[in-house]
């Protein structure tokens, strides 16, 4: 597995397993399959309501904790200066872990600058190995950079061939921020997976179109964690390190018209404002 060096010196595996929209029961069924297939990098979040099940699968795998790279994320209800420290502790408690490899502020709303200071404290205390942001645009990222003693290690945003984020990556390049791409396969969008450029390259390399898109991500240096409940897809998604797209092929993919799947609103949408009681999971 390829890893990237983050700006704090820690390493992050290029490919992982995402758990968005997976119930605890689905995690209990499919995460052990993913771990058996070879996944060691797992992406979850407070708001996925499946951290207890994620932690249980990790512990019950019998594989040493340090072989895993585990990410979670906090929602804005947890950002206030008075709650951020205890919310980080509660996240670790739900997962049953002593430390997280990466914790992100999931949404760019509310008291995110205060939260960043709490993230920095938790990193200094060894509870978090690395820290980052998700769904922050340039202006909001700049607000974090203005107060930060620790530059974020990671920015997790939508990235796929329809939203390659080249402008954002260019802007942040001097900071050494690693980019993680959510919706790496367009959330399974068939129209993306069946684009002629991908079917043609799939034929040429004897791979699936999903594998071609994931290979594009690797060559773009995007960290991705496609979500799948299908063991064959789990194996396919890891099997992308034995071929390489040419510069011309990368350029063809990068010429795909840009059309993001989701526009992050400036103000918090209703689903973010809804009260979340993360104790309601098992
Ligand atoms: N920070 C954020 O705000 C945010 C937002 C969204 C997602 N995320 C993270 O990013 C992860 C990935 O995003 P996502 O789950 O929404 O979308 P995704 O990974 O782009 O797409 C998942 C879909 O692709 C299909 N798929 C996976 N592998 C495939 C393959 N080899 N061939 C064909 N189809 C395949 C899956 O179906 P099958 O189950 O049938 O394989 C599933 O329907 C999430 O799980 C989560 O960890 C973060």
69-82 pLDDT, tens digit each: 999 999 999 999 99
Mean pLDDT score of the chain: 97
Residue nearest to atom 15 of ligand 1 (CA): 227
CB 31 within 8 A of CB 61: no
Q: Which atom of ligand 1 is nearest to the CA of 157?
A: 1
C-alpha 124 – ligand 1 centre gap (Å)? 32
For the Cβ of 215 lying below 6 angstroms from any atom of ligand 1, the answer is no
Question: Angle, to 10 degrees, between the axis of helix 247-254 and the axis of helix 196-205?
Answer: 160
Q: Which atom of ligand 1 is nearest to the CA of 209?
A: 32
Categorize the per-residue pLDDT at 149 as very low, low, confident or very high, splitting at 50, 70 and 90: very high
For the Cβ of 237 lying below 6 angstroms from any atom of ligand 1, the answer is yes
- State yes or no: pLDDT of 35 exceeds 80: yes
- pLDDT for 282: 63
Residue with tokens 């407070």: 46
CATH code for the part of the protein at 3-273: 3.20.20.100
Distance in angstroms (rounded) separating the CA atoms of residues 50 and 24: 5
Interval 84-111 mean pLDDT = 98
Distance in angstroms (rounded) separating the CA atoms of residues 210 and 188: 9
Specify the 3-state DSSP secondary structure of 229.
Answer: coil
Categorize the per-residue pLDDT at 276 as very low, low, confident or very high, splitting at 50, 70 and 90: confident
Beta carbons within 10 angstroms of residue 7's beta carbon: 15
Reported as a single tens digit per residue, the pLDDT across 193-213 is: 999 999 999 999 999 999 999
Reported as a single tens digit per residue, the pLDDT across 162-188 is: 999 999 999 999 999 999 999 999 999
Q: Which atom of ligand 1 is nearest to the CA of 211?
A: 31
For the Cβ of 94 lying below 6 angstroms from any atom of ligand 1, the answer is no
For the Cβ of 18 lying below 6 angstroms from any atom of ligand 1, the answer is yes
Residue nearest to atom 45 of ligand 1 (CA): 18
For the Cβ of 183 lying below 6 angstroms from any atom of ligand 1, the answer is yes
C-alpha 121 – ligand 1 centre gap (Å)? 32
Task: Please state, for a pLDDT cut of 70, what percent of the chain lies above it.
Answer: 100
Distance in angstroms (rounded) separating the CA atoms of residues 229 and 209: 18
For the Cβ of 231 lying below 6 angstroms from any atom of ligand 1, the answer is no
Rounded (5°) CA angle 178-184-186:
145
Beta carbons within 10 angstroms of residue 26's beta carbon: 15
Handedness of CA 63, 65, 66, 71 (dihedral sign): positive
For the Cβ of 233 lying below 6 angstroms from any atom of ligand 1, the answer is yes
C-alpha 1 – ligand 1 centre gap (Å)? 20
Length of the chain counted residue by residue: 282
Residue nearest to atom 13 of ligand 1 (CA): 183
- State yes or no: pLDDT of 275 exceeds 90: no
C-alpha 137 – ligand 1 centre gap (Å)? 22
CA distances from 53 to 9, 86, 201, 202, 225 (A): 30, 21, 38, 35, 18
C-alpha 21 – ligand 1 centre gap (Å)? 9
Distance in angstroms (rounded) separating the CA atoms of residues 21 and 26: 9
Residue with tokens 């396969």: 185
Q: Which residue has the higher pLDDT, 273 or 45?
A: 45
Known catalytic residues are: 48
- State yes or no: pLDDT of 281 exceeds 90: no
For the Cβ of 225 lying below 6 angstroms from any atom of ligand 1, the answer is yes
Residue with tokens 């509310």: 110
What residues does each domain of the chain span?
3-273
Show contacts of 184-189: CB within 8 Å, 24+ apart: 184/159, 184/160, 184/213, 184/214, 184/217, 184/222, 184/224, 184/225, 184/226, 185/160, 185/210, 185/213, 185/214, 185/226, 186/160, 186/161, 186/162, 186/261, 187/261, 189/261
Take residue 59 and report the two structure tokens written for it: 């512990």
Interval 55-80 mean pLDDT = 97
Specify the 3-state DSSP secondary structure of 70.
Answer: strand
């Amino acid at each position: 597995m390829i890893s990237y060096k983050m700006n704090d010196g820690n390493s992050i595996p290029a490919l992982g397993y995402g758990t968005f929209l997976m119930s605890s029961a689905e995690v209990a069924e499919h995460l052990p399959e993913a771990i058996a297939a070879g996944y060691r990098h797992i992406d979850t979040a407070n708001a996925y309501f499946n951290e207890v099940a994620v932690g249980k699968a990790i512990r019950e795998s019998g594989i040493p904790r340090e072989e895993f790279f585990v990410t979670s994320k906090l929602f804005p209800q947890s950002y206030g200066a008075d709650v951020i420290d205890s919310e980080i502790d509660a996240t670790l408690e739900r997962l049953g872990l002593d430390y997280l490899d990466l914790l992100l502020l999931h949404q760019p709303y509310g008291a995110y600058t205060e939260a960043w200071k709490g993230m920095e404290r938790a990193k200094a205390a060894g509870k978090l190995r690395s820290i980052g942001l998700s769904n922050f645009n340039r202006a909001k990222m700049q607000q974090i950079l203005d107060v930060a003693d620790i530059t974020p290690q990671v920015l997790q945003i939508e990235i796929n061939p329809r939203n390659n984020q080249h402008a954002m990556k260019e802007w942040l390049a001097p900071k050494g921020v690693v980019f993680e791409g959510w919706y790496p396969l367009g959330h399974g969008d068939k129209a993306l997976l069946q684009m002629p450029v991908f079917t043609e390259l799939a034929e040429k390399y004897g791979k699936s179109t999903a594998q071609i898109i994931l290979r594009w991500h690797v060559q773009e240096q995007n960290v991705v964690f496609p979500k799948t409940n299908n063991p064959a897809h789990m194996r396919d998604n890891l099997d992308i390190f034995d071929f390489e797209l040419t510069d011309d092929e990368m350029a063809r993919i990068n010429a795909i018209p840009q059309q993001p799947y989701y526009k992050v609103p400036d103000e918090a949408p209703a689903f973010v404002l809804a009260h979340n009681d993360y104790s309601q999971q098992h």
